[in-house]
Structure 1
Amino acid sequence: MKHIIIIFGIIIAGLFSSCQEVSADFLEAPAKSTLDESVIFSTPGLARGAVDGILEPMGQTNSYRGRFIPFYGFNTDTEWNYSSDEVGSSQGELMIYDAKPNNSQMNSTNNAWAMMYLGIERANICIRGLRTFGSPEPDTELGQLLGEALTLRAIYYADLMKAWGDVPARFEPINSETIYLEKSSRDIIYKQIIQDLEEASTLVAWPNENATTTSVEKINKAFVKAFRARLALVASGYQQYPDGVRRSNDSDLSVENMYRIALDECRSVINSGTVHLESSFEALWKSYNEENVTAGRESLWEIPFADGRGRVLFSFAVRHRSVDQYTGQARGGIAGPLPTVFYDYDQTDTRRDITCVPYQWGTAVNGISQQELVGSDTWYFGKYRYEWMTRFVTSTNDDGVNKMYMRYAEVLLMAAEAANELEGPAAAAPYLKELRGRAFDPSVRAEKVDNYVNALTNKQDMFNAIVNEHKFEFTGEIERKQALIRWNLLKTNLDEAKAKMINFRNRTGEYADVPTTLYYKYKGDNESLDIYGLNRGENVDPGVEYSAFGWNSLTDDQINSIYKVGVNPDERQFWPIWQVFIDGSNGKLFNDYGY
């Protein structure tokens, strides 16, 4: 069973005086050491403990664990959070593009913003120490550690800018003159971390090239290069600046420059042969839920949580209404796919039934629960399933399953996008075919993959296909919002999603042939549903052995909760900086974007 133990042996100053104590559930550590940095960062074993400590803030309750992972990334044209239509909900306003600086879920000194900067401070100390006192060369332990520290710092900054736009830039440890900093242009930060990742890629090993990189809980070269490609696309993409939604004005971050970096890095990962797609979409997600962290497969890097930390399944798994044969916690299901997403897939696409689940696990009787149909307004992310775990979760509020931060499928899709932009659709086609090919049975691949992709003969058609493929591949992985922003499609696609849900509710337009009644019976295991009526055109009663279930329950309030009525999502692409950090900034921080 995977388990991460993070040990750090240096005193690291927190960004804020109220930084929280390290939780014993996540961290097992001796008393903080007074060892000199010159000893720590010249000794691989001690330096390893310090670098691993950079990750620890992610496991704090109000950090990635309980706030950033569950709440960032909603709502999109494929996903919504089920608090969205709750009037006055502090969680809901985070999803509907109406967050306030004093939001009660987020406005605390130990929230994700503070924990990200605590991680950055730890990274800065490690980077300075390794450069000053170590010999961090390629193919050495200290070199691997420097590459990891640079990459982890880049992850924190990437997520800060994803959520808040322009933020303070700290690339050296805090001193008395730099306690309070103003926001920096995100362009400066993007250029720095893209440069840092170029250096890191020369220092860390490929997956399975050494003992450290045999697990996706450690940084490897394939991830570093893929992450650099992602950041290059984001940095050159559209996003909201204080003066409006636009691309960067910095010529270094031009589409030509950044897409070339992205394409080169993706091709480097692809040509390395060190990672690959899993054999099937179902195999990928079963392996993930089984907590297989072996490197060299599809997962590139995962945020590592110990068994008693992390809330990925707790938040996003198929809902379990009680403790039952599969889980010791009655959780899951705070969010799910939009009701239309299932019907946007080709019916033969094997990703559909893995991604979109129309049932929950009901209240257990004698410890055993059964699947139960839910309304057409409630779907669950089938990528996350307690019933696919090999470990029985006993914690009441954490599941311990890692967050898969990036996987190889994204490398193929980024390669297709960058190749299409720079070299045209013919250059993009092989990457799209490889990704799409896994989704379809060999018997239909000639039509659904080869013919489909070969028909994409101009850049716009290929781009539109890539946008759609991203939806089919990544729904439920909370990657869509940033992608829509950088494509300048956020409000456009959210409005389209609203219109599609109206058609779905009324069974008009593209959803005219979707049934309004489902029929179900239980399979031989007496817990799994056999469902008829989900597919388009299945409108005939299948017989007396099936029970009928009315299935048309979408309301105007739900449809409009994609984003708040009267709000323009393109003017609310980022969360506000929380009030506690503004108040504690000595007048340096303020909110843009009309907050």
Structure 2
Amino acid sequence: MKKIIIAGIIVIAGVFTSCQEFEDDFLDAPAQSTLDESIIFSTPGLARGAVDGIMEPMGQTNSYRGRFIPFYGFNTDAEWNYSSDDVGSSQGDLCIYDAKPNNSQMNSSNNAWAMMYLGIERANICIRGLREFGNPEPGTELGQLLGEALTLRAVYYADLMKAWGDVPARFEPINSETIYLAKSNRDIIYKQIIADLGEASDLVAWPNETSSTTSVERVNKAFVKSFRARLAMIASGYQQYPDGVRRSNDPALSVQNMYTLALDEATDVIESGTAHLEPSFEDFWRSYNEENVSAGGESLWEIPFSAGRGRVLFSFAVRHRGVDQHTGQARGGIAGPLPTVFYDFDEDDTRRDVTCVPYQWGNPDADGFSVQELVGLDTWYFGKYRYEWMNRYVTSTNDDGVNKIYMRFAEVLLIAAEAANELQGPGAAAPYLKEVRMRAFPSELHAEKVDSYVDGLSSPQDMFNAIVKEHMYEFTGEMERKQNLIRWNLLGANLEEAKIKMFNLKNRTGEYADVPSTLYYKYEEDAETLEIYGLNRNEDVNPGPEYSAFEWTTIEDDMINSLFKLGVNPDDRQFWPIWQVFLDSSNGLLVNDYGY
């Protein structure tokens, strides 16, 4: 059964008060607690309630649920939000590298920034209480809980830094002297949370090792180590600092140190056998939509949402224009793959048709029955998210309850490949890249598409370029691409190239000269599923009178140019600005950098 994010059963010193309400009068008031911390954090059942409460802010409307998940990660060379071309749109501005501090989607006191710090405050209280009263040793339930609290705090900080860059560092519960803090250099925070995850990995159990780690809605050792590897790569990567785009100047965060750490952690997870790729890419995504949360497979950890929370499918699923046989929620489709992505895939890659969907579910008939309908060349949907693959019928008007995958095993393999390539060369990276591609291609093509392809990557630069491409093929639609482009120092260059490629596709020139301009379709026996001819390159002959023709050319210049705002260099806008409400309530200590 899916775990519901709920507040813990306790209230400790106002920890469930919004962090924007930490004013002097609050801090001077007597602490209100239903139980003493010494009892709470020495009693596993009570401590579990407190640690569960760390995640509760993620489910708030303006937090991960309705703002951070729908908008962070756009636009990239693989994904765009369909509000991008809406001139003056507060949603579009978040995606086209033109966000303002007063953005109406974000500039509220209960926004994701506030909810992340609320989660951090709860984590700080739990960490302090467990250390002081719980004797949290490895192998104990209280040790598991301390490891979870450390990890969840790291999740919040990791997401704060990827969205805003330098942010205030709070690693102790707020007191009257720390209400207002200036931003800290993010290197300090990265070093702290990487160390915290090292401690957490000694405390938490492997997937299915204990009753606490049987679900991907709980933190386990495979996730902690994998997440630590991810953060090591990010901390040593390129990113925008107030003085420009560069790597960290801190010797502790050097490429040599961090890539070595990342490779060690990734190979620990790989060799543990406690996580693995599912045999079929499509079956994995079907299982995800069916809400299989069993640990020990490909998904390492998921943000858990109840049926009345979460907007993953609500935002990103294949579009449904009405309430129909598959969903009681006419939603999905606020974003999708760039139209070039489908054609950049190898036609034999089984990930292509799962990732890129060229149709929507149209308006239902009088009986509530809808059918698939082709959409324009400029409008594709993420096929990883489908109401029609769910086991339950969503009835909520605002939420779908499907979890957000935070990290999966394929990323661990690509981290290992990238780190091994940097430290040891392409031969050491090859086995990890091959494992990802073996799942992507039918077994009869492995000799050509896996072995020959990977073995032909003879230089570290060739291997790196292949890993960058593989990441797109594997992760389009999961909004992990933007941060990776930043750390690779490829954000601006790849977005510029993406515009050029889309104009080439529109004009059927260059690498897209052989893309057909007409699609042909008919319906299968179920009367709802499209059978499409003409999607593949060079499929330009009418397959027969039973097919109907559909023009496959529409892609407007304004839409292409909306990938990022004209005149803006995305590398100068890698982060969102801190929202005005938080600047105004910071006692003058918070300021925006990066030219905002």
Tell whether the structures are fold-level matches, with TM greater than 0.5: yes
Instruction: Report if the CA contact (8 A) 1:8-1:52 is conserved.
Output: no
**Match in the other structure for 1:559:** 560
Letter aligned with residue 66 of structure 1? G
Partner Cα distance (1:193, 1:357) in 2: 38
Partner Cα distance (2:585, 2:452) in 1: 59
**Match in the other structure for 2:507:** 506
Partner Cα distance (1:393, 1:321) in 2: 14
Residues 47-100 of structure 1: per-residue CA shift (max 9 Å, x gap)? 000000000000000000000000000000000000000001000000000000
Map 1:401-412 onto structure 2 (within 5 A): 401-412=402-413
Map 1:572-587 onto structure 2 (within 5 A): 572-587=573-588
Shift of residue 18, structure 1, vs aligned partner: 4.6
Q: Tell whether 2:169 aligns with 1:166.
A: no
**Match in the other structure for 2:189:** 189
**Match in the other structure for 2:69:** 69
Partner Cα distance (1:268, 1:498) in 2: 40
**Match in the other structure for 2:230:** 230
Residues 399-442 of structure 1: per-residue CA shift (max 9 Å, x gap)? 00000000000000000000000010000000000011000001
Shift of residue 33, structure 1, vs aligned partner: 4.9
Letter aligned with residue 503 of structure 2? I
State the TM-score, normalized to the length of structure 2.
0.97
Q: CA RMSD in A?
A: 0.9
Shift of residue 4, structure 1, vs aligned partner: 1.7
Shift of residue 555, structure 1, vs aligned partner: 1.1
**Match in the other structure for 2:546:** 545
Instruction: Report if the CA contact (8 A) 2:19-2:117 is conserved.
Output: no
**Match in the other structure for 1:24:** none
Map 1:580-595 onto structure 2 (within 5 A): 580-595=581-596
**Match in the other structure for 1:300:** 300
Shift of residue 10, structure 1, vs aligned partner: 2.4
Partner Cα distance (1:160, 1:166) in 2: 8
Report the 3-state secondary structure (helix = DSSP H, G, I; strand = E; otherwise coil) of the residue aligned with 1:530: strand
Q: Tell whether 2:19 aligns with 1:16.
A: yes
Partner Cα distance (2:444, 2:79) in 1: 31
Q: Tell whether 2:379 aligns with 1:378.
A: yes
Instruction: Report if the CA contact (8 A) 2:18-2:114 is conserved.
Output: yes
Report the 3-state secondary structure (helix = DSSP H, G, I; strand = E; otherwise coil) of the residue aligned with 1:136: coil
**Match in the other structure for 2:497:** 496
Partner Cα distance (2:316, 2:176) in 1: 42
**Match in the other structure for 2:368:** 367
Partner Cα distance (1:140, 1:258) in 2: 30
Report the 3-state secondary structure (helix = DSSP H, G, I; strand = E; otherwise coil) of the residue aligned with 2:19: coil
Q: Tell whether 2:442 aligns with 1:444.
A: no
Residues 285-313 of structure 1: per-residue CA shift (max 9 Å, x gap)? 00000000000000000000000000000
Letter aligned with residue 176 of structure 1? S
Partner Cα distance (2:359, 2:557) in 1: 22
Structure 1 residue runs of 4+, over 6 Å off?
none
Partner Cα distance (2:579, 2:5) in 1: 31
**Match in the other structure for 1:56:** 56
Partner Cα distance (1:5, 1:288) in 2: 18
Partner Cα distance (1:298, 1:346) in 2: 23
Letter aligned with residue 505 of structure 2? F
Partner Cα distance (1:448, 1:86) in 2: 41
Report the 3-state secondary structure (helix = DSSP H, G, I; strand = E; otherwise coil) of the residue aligned with 1:91: helix
Partner Cα distance (2:372, 2:560) in 1: 26
Instruction: Report if the CA contact (8 A) 2:5-2:59 is conserved.
Output: no
**Match in the other structure for 1:524:** 525
Partner Cα distance (1:45, 1:82) in 2: 45
Report the 3-state secondary structure (helix = DSSP H, G, I; strand = E; otherwise coil) of the residue aligned with 2:260: helix
Instruction: Report if the CA contact (8 A) 1:16-1:114 is conserved.
Output: yes
Shift of residue 2, structure 1, vs aligned partner: 1.6
Shift of residue 110, structure 1, vs aligned partner: 0.1
Instruction: Report if the CA contact (8 A) 2:421-2:428 is conserved.
Output: yes
Any gaps of 5 or more consecutive residues in structure 1? 20-31
Partner Cα distance (2:20, 2:253) in 1: 36
**Match in the other structure for 1:103:** 103
Instruction: Report if the CA contact (8 A) 1:3-1:307 is conserved.
Output: no
Residues 460-479 of structure 1: per-residue CA shift (max 9 Å, x gap)? 00000000000000000000
Report the 3-state secondary structure (helix = DSSP H, G, I; strand = E; otherwise coil) of the residue aligned with 1:113: helix
Shift of residue 283, structure 1, vs aligned partner: 0.7
Partner Cα distance (2:415, 2:307) in 1: 33
Partner Cα distance (2:9, 2:414) in 1: 37
Letter aligned with residue 533 of structure 2? Y
Letter aligned with residue 505 of structure 1? K
Shift of residue 34, structure 1, vs aligned partner: 1.7
Partner Cα distance (1:2, 1:215) in 2: 9
Letter aligned with residue 589 of structure 1? L
Report the 3-state secondary structure (helix = DSSP H, G, I; strand = E; otherwise coil) of the residue aligned with 1:452: helix
Letter aligned with residue 47 of structure 2? A
Instruction: Report if the CA contact (8 A) 2:298-2:408 is conserved.
Output: yes
Shift of residue 5, structure 1, vs aligned partner: 5.0
Report the 3-state secondary structure (helix = DSSP H, G, I; strand = E; otherwise coil) of the residue aligned with 1:322: coil
Report the 3-state secondary structure (helix = DSSP H, G, I; strand = E; otherwise coil) of the residue aligned with 1:274: coil
Q: Alignment identity in percent?
A: 79
**Match in the other structure for 1:349:** 349
Q: Tell whether 2:154 aligns with 1:157.
A: no
Shift of residue 8, structure 1, vs aligned partner: 3.2
Residues 497 and 40 of structure 1, relative CA distance in 2, 3 Å threshold: same
Instruction: Report if the CA contact (8 A) 1:298-1:409 is conserved.
Output: yes
Shift of residue 3, structure 1, vs aligned partner: 3.4
Q: Tell whether 2:274 aligns with 1:274.
A: yes
Map 1:21-36 onto structure 2 (within 5 A): 33-36=33-36
Residues 137-156 of structure 1: per-residue CA shift (max 9 Å, x gap)? 00000000000000000000
Shift of residue 536, structure 1, vs aligned partner: 0.2
Instruction: Report if the CA contact (8 A) 2:5-2:305 is conserved.
Output: no
Instruction: Report if the CA contact (8 A) 1:18-1:110 is conserved.
Output: no
Instruction: Report if the CA contact (8 A) 1:82-1:334 is conserved.
Output: yes
Partner Cα distance (2:491, 2:116) in 1: 26
Instruction: Report if the CA contact (8 A) 1:259-1:422 is conserved.
Output: yes
**Match in the other structure for 2:201:** 201
Letter aligned with residue 193 of structure 1? I
Instruction: Report if the CA contact (8 A) 1:15-1:121 is conserved.
Output: no
Partner Cα distance (2:87, 2:33) in 1: 49
Report the 3-state secondary structure (helix = DSSP H, G, I; strand = E; otherwise coil) of the residue aligned with 2:471: helix
Map 1:318-337 onto structure 2 (within 5 A): 318-337=318-337
Instruction: Report if the CA contact (8 A) 1:8-1:51 is conserved.
Output: no
**Match in the other structure for 1:460:** 461
Residues 204-248 of structure 1: per-residue CA shift (max 9 Å, x gap)? 000000001000000000000000000000000000000000000
Partner Cα distance (1:56, 1:225) in 2: 23
State the TM-score, normalized to the length of structure 1.
0.97
Partner Cα distance (1:425, 1:467) in 2: 14
